[in-house]
Structures are given as structure tokens and as C-alpha cells.
A and B are shown apart, each in its own frame.
Chain A
């Protein structure tokens, strides 16, 4: 990585492992009486959210505050963004306010990349989800959760199930998990697999029941109906019969297999309530781990005079 975290694909294996081990140390902070570290005292972090989000924004806010940074929340609703201000003018405003890092969520794929590379500001940019493109900190917290449960991810089989087409979580996870040595299988109906998925270096399957018995991790994705502009499957009932995780399917999993979901989940659609609340489910833990992982990312980007993570060839500092 370099000054920014835009894509899970920018992370080398060393970078990713440094983030995971740092997150492991920071996770213990949650058990302490004073949940605060001084590392980012005096740094300003702006949460720039052009798209609704509770989990991710709160998670980044908690992470930044636990590192003693000053946090400014900036959401599209109720700001001049809703009056038609351009991304460039927003960036110039943030620069003028002296933001050290901008955490950006945008409905357009590539917006964080533009913000980082257009030369509008000097701050670090952290992608908190852009369109259907990437969500690298989600992939990091997912990998962290798997790593805590399964140890080394080399050779582990991860099934990512559901609406892969609209999922930035699936893409970031596929990139990161491959870097960490896991074998990823994307399971979805043909209509919900993205064009060009052959180039991701992952397996694909249309048959959930064939994949489940071998998986070490099952990650269910939400069907993103707000992004759907066509009929991708006949009915909700048919979708959940073929690609939903229910108690019957869960019985076919190996004993150590964990069930994950990036949230928000729709109970009864991609996952049934008994699975979501079962012992295998680590969905609530994912949220806890999210704060630790985001603390690790912010610390490693902003904690020193320069980022701790290795620079790659196309560095854009």
C-alpha cells in the first residue's frame, strides 16, 4: 500500500499481515477501562459519505476516536453536496480545513481513486466502499475474522455466495483472500456473476450444495435490490431456495466452518434466522473486528511520518 487504501488488490501479503497483526493488538483495547490510545492526537479524519451507511461510518468513527483523532462527519444529506457541489469542490474544501485523511463512501465506482489521484488534496484517502467496485476495509475485517478462527488462511476454502455482481465486498475479498493464500469460490446464479470474473483468479459455481461440504468459510452476500435495474432471478422464493443458507444446508458444513455476512442481512432471503443466530455465525464478531481493523489501517497510514506499508511500483504519492 502507499499513502491511500483504495483497493484490496494494492496490498502485498506483508502489508495485509501487518494490518492483521496490528489489529490483533488493537482488539484488546476493547477490554480495557480506558478505550483510547494517543497515536493520532491532533490528526483530523473526515468521514465523507455520499451513500447511506451506518455500520461502516460508525465503525470508522469509533476507530478514529479511539486513536484520539478529531473526526468530522460529512454526509451527502444535509450538506452542500445535496445542492450539487462537485467532488472536486468538496475535496478542495476538505483540504482547506486541513484533513489528514478522508474516509470516502461513494455510489460511483472509482470516486475514491479520483479523489486520491486528481491532485486536489494532500490527504490520505481510505475507500469505505465505492459503487459496485471495492470495499477494502470490509475484506480486511473479514480476513481478520477468518484468521482468528482458522489461523493461517493458506489453502483454506472460502465460499462467497449470492449477489456477486453488485458486491464490492465480494471483489475486495476475492483479491485479498487470494493474496493471503486462500481458495475462493464464488457461488451465484449466472445472472449475478460479473462479466470478466474469469480474470479474478477464483473458482465459480452455480451449485451451492456442491460447494458447501468442502468450505471452511461461507460468506453470504445481501441481494442488493437497490442496485438492480433488471430481473436477475424469477422470484425471491426461488432465489432463497437455491442460494439461501438455511438449517438444512448448514447441517452439511464441516464442524469448524464459520458463517459470515457483511451486513445488513435480510433474514429469510439469503440467510435464515436460525443460521444467523447459530453458534457458527460470526456476524456480530465481524462488527467488533471492524473497529480493530480500521484502527490498524488508520494507525499504519497516519501514525508516523509516513505510512508503514510498503510502496508499490505505481505509487501515487
Chain B
């Protein structure tokens, strides 16, 4: 996926969120750091341009809720930014770059449990690469990208990497990142 594909996918996600929610009222977009946060902001900007008023955006760090916390050296925390009136009663849309095992989303659901009780929680991801290890699915998907487990999907965003792109690398013999959009 190149920059235009990413932008089109986010535009479609924004419209799907609005359609599902019947408007932008009561919405809160929570990005999961690091790359989910700018994605949430971009979706919010697109929603704002369609609906004409801003939607709330925040970020939710799930580091302390991860099930592999004890398996690696202690990790630095990322930003958690929740609106001052909390998440109670809102429709929260979690935003992340890649949906893979589903463990990050499980951690996010646990983290939210300590923050309040949303009316509903939905999930938007730029890329769904399959290989779920938990019963979790996305409500809004930018692109389904069937991959093999040896491949690595990396999402580049202008906020971090000076470009927008989704890259797959590590396909069988050649280790160099290939510019292939799809590996199907």
C-alpha cells in the first residue's frame, strides 16, 4: 500500500464508522501507541471534514496490560491520553495499525476496564494480517493482507517514518523489504 492507498482506506474507515454510529455523536477514537495514535487523529480529521464538527481523540497505552510483560525486559510506557470526562457511556473506537494475534487488543480491553464503562467498543485497523490467537475481530479494516507467519508487516506513517506505506518483508529467501503491495 502506498500513501494514496492508506489515505483511501482511512477515508473509507471514517465513513464506515459514521455509518455504523449514525453520525459522530458520542464517539471517542482511542489510538494504541505508537502508530495507532496518528491513525486515530487522521480518521478523526476525516470524520470532522464530513460531519463538520470535531470528534474526541485520545491514546491508550497497553504496555502494563500485555500478557508478555514478564517475558521481556521492562518496557518504557507510552502516552495515555483520555478525555477529562472519561470513557463512560461513549462509543469507543480503538485504532491500531496491524491486527495480528489479537493480544494487543485484549490488553486494550483490559486497560479500558480500569478506565470506565463505554457504551460500546469497536475496533478499526489499517491492516488485518490474520493469524489470530484470540477470539477477536475488527469492525473496520483498511486492508486484509493474508500473510505467512515468517513475513513481517510494517506500517510506515509520515509522523514517524517520513512516508506512508505498508510493507511486507522477509518473504522466504529474500530478506530485503519488498515493495509488493500484496502477497497473495
Q: Which residue numbers of A lie inside 8 Å of B, CB to CB? A: 18, 21-22, 25-26, 28, 32-34, 36-39, 299-308
- List 20 contacting pairs A-B, 8 Å CB cutoff, sorted by A: A25-B77, A25-B80, A32-B82, A32-B115, A33-B115, A38-B110, A299-B74, A300-B74, A301-B74, A303-B74, A303-B75, A304-B69, A304-B73, A305-B72, A305-B73, A306-B73, A306-B74, A307-B74, A308-B74, A308-B75
Contact across chains for A32 and B73 when beta carbons are under 8 A apart: no
Instruction: Give A37 to B61 CA distance when docked, in angstroms.
Output: 12
Contact across chains for A305 and B70 when beta carbons are under 8 A apart: yes
Contact across chains for A28 and B69 when beta carbons are under 8 A apart: no
Contact across chains for A38 and B73 when beta carbons are under 8 A apart: no
Instruction: Give A28 to B69 CA distance when docked, in angstroms.
Output: 21
- Distance in Å: Cβ of B75 to nearest Cβ of chain A: 7
Within 8 A of A (CB), among B41-85: 61, 64-65, 69-80, 82
- Distance in Å: Cβ of A200 to nearest Cβ of chain B: 30
Q: Who on chain A is nearest to B116 by CB?
A: A33
- Secondary structure dominating the interface of A: loop
- Distance in Å: Cβ of B5 to nearest Cβ of chain A: 34
Contact across chains for A28 and B80 when beta carbons are under 8 A apart: yes
- Central interface residue in B64, B65, B78, B82, by most chain A CB within 10 Å: B64
Instruction: Give A33 to B86 CA distance when docked, in angstroms.
Output: 9
B64 / chain A contacts, CB cutoff of 8 Å: 37-39, 299, 303
Q: Who on chain B is nearest to A42 by CB?
A: B70
Instruction: Give A39 to B68 CA distance when docked, in angstroms.
Output: 11
Q: Who on chain B is nearest to A36 by CB?
A: B114
Q: Report B18-38 CB contacts with A as 1/0, cut-off 8 Å.
A: 000000000000000000000
Q: Which 6 A-B pairs have the closest CB atoms?
A: A304-B74, A308-B74, A303-B74, A39-B64, A25-B77, A304-B73
Within 8 A of A (CB), among B74-114: 74-80, 82, 86, 110, 114
Given A32-B115, A34-B114, verify A25-B72 contact (CB < 8 Å).
Answer: no
Contact across chains for A32 and B74 when beta carbons are under 8 A apart: no
A303 / chain B contacts, CB cutoff of 8 Å: 64, 69, 74-75
The interface size bin for chain B is 20 to 34
Known pairs A36-B114, A304-B72, A308-B74. 14 more at Cβ < 8 A? A18-B76, A25-B77, A25-B79, A26-B77, A32-B82, A32-B114, A33-B115, A37-B114, A301-B74, A303-B69, A304-B70, A305-B71, A307-B73, A308-B75
Instruction: Give A22 to B110 CA distance when docked, in angstroms.
Output: 20
Complex partner residue of B73 from A21, A26, A308, CB under 8 angstroms:
A308
- Distance in Å: Cβ of B77 to nearest Cβ of chain A: 4
- Central interface residue in A21, A22, A37, A303, by most chain B CB within 10 Å: A303
B74 / chain A contacts, CB cutoff of 8 Å: 299-304, 306-308
Instruction: Give A303 to B74 CA distance when docked, in angstroms.
Output: 5
A302 / chain B contacts, CB cutoff of 8 Å: 74
Q: Who on chain A is nearest to B65 by CB?
A: A38
Within 8 A of A (CB), among B143-160: none
Q: Report B103-137 CB contacts with A as 1/0, cut-off 8 Å.
A: 00000001000111000000000000000000000
Contact across chains for B115 and A304 when beta carbons are under 8 A apart: no
Given A39-B69, A304-B70, A305-B71, verify A34-B115 contact (CB < 8 Å).
Answer: yes
A38 / chain B contacts, CB cutoff of 8 Å: 64-65, 110
Given A32-B114, A39-B64, verify A22-B72 contact (CB < 8 Å).
Answer: no
B114 / chain A contacts, CB cutoff of 8 Å: 32, 34, 36-37
B69 / chain A contacts, CB cutoff of 8 Å: 39, 303-304
Q: Who on chain B is nearest to A306 by CB?
A: B73
Instruction: Give A307 to B75 CA distance when docked, in angstroms.
Output: 9
B75 / chain A contacts, CB cutoff of 8 Å: 303-304, 308
B77 / chain A contacts, CB cutoff of 8 Å: 21-22, 25-26, 299
